[in-house]
Amino acid sequence: MSAILDRLQRGDVLLSDGAMGTELQKRGLEPGACPEELNVTKPEIVQGIYQDYFDAGSDIIETNTFGGTRARLALHGFEDRVTEFNKAAAQLAVNLKPENKYVAGSVGPTGEMIEPLGTLSKDVVLEMFAEQIRALVEGGVDILFIETMMAAEEAELAIEAAKSVCDLPISCTMTFEVGKAGPRTMWGISPQQAVEKLTAAGADILGANCGRGSDEMLQIIREMRKFTEKPLLAQPNAGLPEYISGEAVYNESPESILPNARELLALGVNIIGACCGSSPAHIKKLRELLDSL
Which residues in this chain contact other proteins in the complex, by CB under 8 A?
22, 25, 30-32, 75, 111, 113, 117, 150-151, 179-181, 184-188, 240-243, 246-248, 250, 276-277
Please, which residue, 131 or 153, has the CB nearer to other proteins?
A: 153
CB of 183 to other proteins, least distance (A): 10
Q: Which of 261, 277, 258 is nearest to 269 (CA)?
A: 261
Backbone angles phi, psi at 63, to 5 degrees: -70, 155
Q: How does strand 102-107 pair with strand 143-149?
A: parallel
Q: Shortest gap between Cβ of 9 and other proteins (angstroms)?
A: 35
Query: What CA–CA distances, in Å, run from 216 to 106, 127, 168, 212, 280?
Result: 23, 34, 30, 6, 22
111 vs 259 by CB, closer to other proteins: 111
Nearest approach, Cβ of residue 232 and other proteins (Å): 23
CB count in 10 Å sphere of residue 227: 16
Nearer to other proteins, 5 or 178 (CB): 178
Determine the Cα angle at 82 with ends 80 and 88, to 5°: 125
Residue 98 or residue 182: which is nearer to other proteins going by CB? Answer: 182
| Smaller CB separation from other proteins, 85 or 250 | 250
Write down the least CB distance from residue 89 to other proteins, Å: 20
- As beta bridge partners, residue 209 has 235
Nearest approach, Cβ of residue 187 and other proteins (Å) = 6
**Residue 181 Cβ, how far from other proteins at the closest point, in Å?**
4
Distance between CA atoms of residues 180 and 123, nearest Å: 35
Could you tell me which residues are beta bridge partners of residue 57? Answer: none
Per-residue burial over 109-127, b if 16 or more Cβ lie within 10 Å, else e, is bbebebeeeeebeeebbbb
Whose Cβ is closer to other proteins: residue 103's or residue 276's?
276
